[in-house]
Amino acid sequence: MLKEYFNLAFVNISSRKLRSWLTMIGIFIGIASVIALMGLGSGLRVAIISQFDFLGSDILSVQASGIAFGPPGSGVVTPLSDELIEKIAKVDGVESTYNRWIESAIFEFNSIQSLLLVTSTPEGDKRRMFETMLNFKVKEGRMLRDSDTYKIVVGGNYAENEDTEEKTVFKRPIHVGDTVYIDEIKFEVAGVLEKKGNFMLDGAIILNENILLDIFGDDGTTDLIAVKVRNEKEMAKTKENLEKLLRKERDVDIGEEDFEVSSPQNILNALDSTLAGINIFVAVIAGISLLVGGIGIMNTMYTSVLERTKEVGIMKAIGAKNSTIFTLFFIESGFLGMVGGLIGVLIGLVLAYGGAFIGRLVLGVNLIQANVSLSLIIGTLVFSFVLGTLFGVMPAMKAAKLQPVDSLRSK
């Protein structure tokens, strides 16, 4: 018989269209904001984690602080001097190190110029370490060798069949053998990498370090030092040792560090606690708006009971029990909640994916992504149904308790 009750509830809701829509708006807003913000938040987390994917759990990176996620020169920082590398290599717990330079350069391809970041790959023994650590694979051509001079490898965003902004800028994909110019110096493309879903790696332009230093000059400093620890369990200890050394070398006190030693894990932890904070904030806002939405449902249902007092009387006269009347109203309010939730989910999805799309257009990075999980959708739908029924209990009880004689007499 439940099917018929749902039918009746649907008939009742659709015969009061305007009011039903207005009631459900309260639910839309709450559910849509939950879906949109949580979806964007978890998408952001996935995107950020993928940025660290290439760093194994046994890797620490040392950077002069202020440049952690930006190009060098974006803050007033003291660069890391080359001598540090030798000293870091000797720190207890360190297995090996390599360093990298990151420079901005005018990159020209297909007669189109653009300002891009170019980065170095270490040579000799450390090249393999770098390539394994970043898990590079070529899609086309080959990786660089020590004997290469004016050759480069480009990231997956430049390859065929990829819809990326790099492709939009240069109007066609880059293939092995193509000629490009870096600061007006001619280079040949030796390889194109597989796409990894990491905007820094996929957009990379990689040169051998000697030729990079030739072009941009070696001032005895480096932009990033990657440190592989000997034992993963000694990560924290090694990190401390490194910090101690760097404080001494750079002559700063604890708390005034102008450098940063970071492990993927502590970046993730920081990220997670930030996201957790955002999620709590979202949950509170959404909770308030859903509470308001629920009260809206309750108000509508009370009005409905008043309006339909006569109808309740008729139904009771023709044999409806109190429990029947209760169920009818109860389902109706649950229906309001669930349909409101359903539409809220749709709006939320549009907001999340649309927001991420606009974000990518405006900021030009792939970092902003939406990731709405099925469990989030199902969870919010169940929640909105429960919300509707919860706030429908009291009006439904009121309807059920109406006296048939009195309610038949009402207008």
d(CA 91, CA 244): 10
Residue with tokens 């990326």, as numbered in its chain: 164
Verify binding: residue 303, another protein, rule CB under 8 A. Answer: no
CB closer to another protein, 155 vs 313:
313
Contact 298, 117 (CB under 8 A): no
Taking the C-alpha atoms of residue 344 and residue 338, their distance in angstroms, rounded to an integer, is 9
Name which of 87 and 310 has its Cβ closer to another protein. 310
Instruction: Please give the size of the binding site for another protein, defined by CB under 8 A.
Output: 23
315 binding another protein? (CB under 8 A): yes
3-state secondary structure of 410: coil
DSSP letters spanning 186-239: EEEEEEEEPP-S-HHHHT-EEEEHHHHHHHH---SEESEEEEEES-GGGHHHHH
Q: Does 57 bind another protein (CB under 8 A)?
A: no
- Does residue number 319 form part of the binding site for another protein (CB under 8 A)? yes
Q: Which region, judged by CB under 8 A, interacts with another protein, from 79-87, 104-112, 322-330, 384-392?
A: 322-330
Nearest alpha-carbon partner for 63 in 241, 254, 261: 261
Q: Which span sits near another protein by CB under 8 A: 6-14, 81-89, 113-121, 186-194?
A: 6-14
Q: Under the criterion CB under 8 A, does residue 11 sit at the interface with another protein? A: yes
Judging by beta carbons within 10 Å of its beta carbon (0-12, 13-18, 19+), is residue 186 exposed, middle or buried? exposed
| Strand bridging mode 59-64 / 205-208 | unpaired
Whether 176 contacts 189, CB under 8 Å: yes
Least Å from the CB of residue 397 to another protein? 14
Instruction: Give the footprint of another protein on residues 376-405 (CB under 8 A).
Output: 403-405
Closer CB to another protein, 315 or 356, in the complex = 315
Q: Which of 196, 239, 316, 398 binds another protein (CB under 8 A)?
A: 316
Q: Tell me which stretch binds another protein (CB under 8 A): 1-9, 102-110, 352-360, 390-398.
A: 1-9
With binding defined as CB under 8 A, does residue 310 bind another protein? yes
* Closest separation in Å from C-beta 345 to another protein: 28
CA-based angle 110:115:116, to the nearest 5? 90
Binding footprint of another protein on the chain (CB under 8 A): 1, 4, 8, 11-12, 15, 310-311, 314-324, 403-405, 408
